[in-house]
Amino acid sequence: MSRPSDLVQGTLDLLLLKILALEPLNGWAISQRLKQVSGEVLQVSDGSLYPALHKLEQGGWISAEWKASENNRRAKFYSLTRLGRRQLEHETANWSRLSSAISHVLKLKEA
């Protein structure tokens, strides 16, 4: 099992949900968007994207549909489900709480 080791567990899921919340995309477009939005900070290999997508689909958070892509090739497009939207809100809130708590801790001055 190769997990993107430099990503906090569960962060990839959150990112994917967020990206798909904006618009339905296929796998290739998602990978491009990931690179684009996170710069080179988040290293996600192209391969590990798909198991994560399939797991989200299996969980009912995103659903998939085969459609023609921009260059008229058949591609699998993922979009957020109602369940996924709720999950995204939930996870976003969690993340904000966690990150503010952590940055709070990190900002403590050494006595």
Partner 1 sequence: MRLEHWLYAAPLRLRSLFRRQQVERELDEELRGHLEHLIQQNLTAGMPPEQARAAAMRQMDGLEQRKEECRDARGVNFFEHFAQDIRYGARVLRKNPGFTLTAVLALALGIGANSAIFSVVYGVLVRPLPFPDAERLAMVYVHFSPQNSERGNMSIADFLDWKAQNRSFEEPALFAVAGAAQLRRFDLTGVDEPEEVRGTSVTTGFFPALRAQPLLGRLFLPGEDAAGSERKVVLGESLWRRRFGSRPDIVGQGIVLNGMRFTIIGVLPASFQFARLPDAEVWTNLLLNPPTHRGPYFYNGIGRLKPGVTLEQAQAETNAIGGSIERANSSWYSHLTMPVIPLREALVGKVRPALLVLFGAVVFVLLIAAVNVANLLLSRANVREREIAVRAALGAGRGRLVRQLLTESTLLALLGGGLGLLLAYAGIQLLRAWNPGNLPRVGDIQLDSHVALFTLLISLASGILFGLAPAMHSSRGLIGSLNEGGRSGTAGTARRRVHAALMVSEVALSLVLLIGAGLLLRSFDLLQKVNAGFSADPQKVLALDITLSGPKYADGKAQVAFFDRLIEQARALPGVESAALSDSLPPSEAGDSDTFVIDGQAWTQAGFPSTDNAILGPGYFRAMEIPLLRGRDFADSDTAGSPPVAIISASLARRYFPHEDPIGHRLKQSDPSLHGSPFMEIVGVVGDVKYDGLDDHSEMAYYTPYRQNFARNLYLVVRSGLPAASLSGTLRQQVRDLDPDVVVSQPSTLEQVMSDSVAQPRFRTALLGLFAAIALVLAAIGIYGVIAYAVAQRTHEIGIRMALGARRMDVLRLVTIRGLQLTLAGLAIGMAAAMALTRLLKSLLFGVRPSDPLTFLGMATLLCTVALLACAEPARRAMRVDPMVALRYE
DSSP state of 101: H
Minimum CB distance to partner 1 smaller for 90 or for 97: 90
* Shortest distance, position 97 Cβ to partner 1, whole Å: 20
- Which CB, 90 or 101, lies closer to partner 1? 90
Rank residues 36 and 103 by Cβ distance to partner 1 and give the closer one: 36
Dihedral angle at the C-alpha atoms of 94, 97, 98, 100, nearest 10 degrees?
Answer: 150
Binding positions for partner 1, rule: CB under 8 A: 1-2, 26-28, 31, 45-52, 54-55, 57-60, 63, 66, 73-76, 81, 83
Q: Minimum CB separation from partner 1 for residue 34, in Å?
A: 13
Q: What angle (nearest 5°) sits at the alpha carbon of residue 88, between those of residues 100 and 78?
A: 140
Helix and strand tally (H, E) in the chain?
4, 3
